[in-house]
Amino acid sequence: MTQADTASTVLTPSLMTPEYLLADWQGHRRLTRRVIEAFPEDQLFTFTAAPPMRSFGEMAWELYGVALYTLEGLVTDEWPNPDWTEKPPHEKAALLAAWDELTRRMDAELPTVPPARYQEEKALFWGTMSALTTALYAIDNEIHHRGQGYVYLRALGIEPPPFYER
């Protein structure tokens, strides 16, 4: 059995229900929101631990964009190539407002996705994968960048929120 076979065997609706996926994803999003909140306003979009790395504010906007892209793809079953050229505002309040609105949308719209859609293979700009794998990628990407946020907060002398309190 190949790694791809194992992944498709493991990622079945019987092991991860859409309700569980939503609850897990929103738990990660709540924690990431607290990391965003922990940054001082003047450091969220300016501080980087090791240039040319991005600021955590820029990474958080990426997380927002990937989650929005994934939500819209799951709901509409349309997966166009995303346009990442638009630069969002470098304001903490704008980021948190957009984050909160997307959280509400996810709560309202993800339950409308037909469960079978999660297993359908999709040709995306980064490769062909199931819709569930795409959602899990969005979560993994968030965890990865949130970890960078933890390092940045510690470098600023700020205690990050406990990772286990989601």
Q: Is the pLDDT of residue 6 over 90?
A: no
Domain positions in the chain are: 24-50+64-80+87-166
- Which has more confidence, 40 or 16? 40
Residue with tokens 């907060």: 153
Using CA atoms, how far apart are residues 16 and 56, in angstroms rounded to an integer?
A: 30
Q: Is the pLDDT of residue 133 over 60?
A: yes
Q: Is the pLDDT of residue 4 over 60?
A: no
> For the residues 152-166, what does the mean pLDDT come to?
95
Q: Is the pLDDT of residue 1 over 50?
A: no
pTM, entire model: 0.89
> For the residues 136-149, what does the mean pLDDT come to?
97
> For the residues 113-137, what does the mean pLDDT come to?
93
Q: Quick one: what percent of the chain has pLDDT higher than 70?
A: 91
- The reply, when asked if residue 145 is annotated as ligand binding, is yes
Using CA atoms, how far apart are residues 133 and 12, in angstroms rounded to an integer?
A: 11
What tokens were used for 67? Answer: 């989650």
Kindly report the three-state secondary structure assignment for every residue of 18-50.
HHHHHHHHHHHHHHHHHHHHHCCHHHHCCCCCC
- Which has more confidence, 13 or 109? 109
Using CA atoms, how far apart are residues 90 and 57, in angstroms rounded to an integer?
A: 7
> For the residues 81-105, what does the mean pLDDT come to?
95
Q: Is the pLDDT of residue 146 over 60?
A: yes
Say which CATH architecture domain 24-50+64-80+87-166 belongs to: Up-down Bundle (1.20)
